[in-house]
Amino acid sequence: MEPTKKFTPGYLTGASNEILFEIAKKLLAEDVLNFSYTNRLLHTVCSQDWVWKHLCFRDHGVNFIGPDTSWKRFYYSEDIKKVCRHLSAIDEKESLQSLQQYYSVALKCSIDECNTQKLWMCLAKGCSVVACGRSGDQNGHAEQHYEMDKEHGLVIQIRTLQIWCYTCDKWIGTPNSHPAEKAKVNAITRLICNTMNRPDLQSEVALNSRRQHERDLEEEITNDGKCVLISMIWMKEWCSFMTGNPLPGPVDNRSLLLANGSVNPDMSIPEDFVIISMNTWAYLEQYYGVDGRMLSEGALQILRYRCCVA
């Protein structure tokens, strides 16, 4: 009971704020609004952040929020339906402890001792299983782990601290994600980076937004008709950077050329090369540099012919 409040039995305004909160938390959101329009006191109580925080979690399963908004606004926004609500179950401190333990012991996939460095850690409460991913030379044990228990959908890449959700089937907390999701993921990675004090980890984390940007670029479809060829050898290095390996060197197309410098006609997609847009090429040229020259449309004409014959 609030000491300043005059007590009168049977009067709603005589009830403590705690009781009004308890009632509000059990109402549908629409009824909370109606309850709040009854009078000024109830309006103050029902507008409190923790009433709406409770409703956000109860109705949408989301317990994290971005900057520059209130829980009430967030409740009614479209964004709340788009964020990865599985993040609500993640405890930053527990994730940190698991990773700290990991760095002091194993360096292998714990499911089948796969010898790969591209490892993921399950973020489910009390789990922290370490397993390999599904790209390149890996065996996809992290995904198998998720298939066995669908509650274990969120995994963190140990080397880069990027987070993937198997349930949502996407990267979580990327530059394009909703602010709430970004804020939550940033809080996790910041806590881990600051506590672990590993400069190598920090520089990897700093590259994560670049990784996401380049993943988006890779998926871009060529629509202007102008295409550029990229050697598959370099492409593989680039892809492995996007999934967590070190940066590759300059774009190198020499594997596509004959000794005299002309394009080798005996090549096929996608064994030897892939096609990217001009836009992507311009990006690669700017950020990676180019060793050799650009192979574009003219070269493609010859190859298209070869593809048809084959």
Partner 1 sequence: MSDPANITLVTMDGTTFTVPSAYLHRSKLVQDWLRSEGDKQAMEVKHVTPFVLQGVLNFCEIHAEDTSEPLADPADPTKPFEADPRDDAFRGMPDDQLLQFTMAADILQIPELVRLTAQEMASRIDGKSPDQIRAMFNPDDLAEEDVDSDNEMGEVGEEGAISK
| Site residues (vs partner 1, CB under 8 A) | 1, 7-16, 18-19, 21-23, 25-31, 33-40, 42-43, 54, 57-58, 72-73, 75-77
Residue closer to partner 1, measured from CB, 26 or 170: 26
CB of 304 to partner 1, least distance (A): 52
Separation between Cα atoms, residue 281 and residue 249, nearest integer Å: 15
Residue closer to partner 1, measured from CB, 46 or 201: 46
CB of 19 to partner 1, least distance (A): 5
Q: Do 141 and 111 meet the contact criterion of CB atoms below 8 Å apart? A: yes
CB of 64 to partner 1, least distance (A): 15
Q: Do 156 and 170 meet the contact criterion of CB atoms below 8 Å apart? A: no
**Which is nearest to 156 in space by CA: 204, 115, 218, 198?**
204
Residue closer to partner 1, measured from CB, 82 or 236: 82
Q: In 10 A of CB 263, how many CB atoms?
A: 17
CB of 209 to partner 1, least distance (A): 31
Contacts of 51 (CB under 8 A, 6+ apart): 21, 24, 25, 32, 45
Contacts of 293 (CB under 8 A, 6+ apart): 253
Q: Which residue has the tokens 């048809």?
A: 308
Residue closer to partner 1, measured from CB, 16 or 97: 16
Assign residue 18 a region: left if phi > 0, alpha if psi is -120 to 50, beta otherwise? alpha
CB of 155 to partner 1, least distance (A): 24
Residue closer to partner 1, measured from CB, 89 or 96: 89
Q: Do 163 and 188 meet the contact criterion of CB atoms below 8 Å apart? A: yes
Residue closer to partner 1, measured from CB, 39 or 176: 39
CB of 45 to partner 1, least distance (A): 12
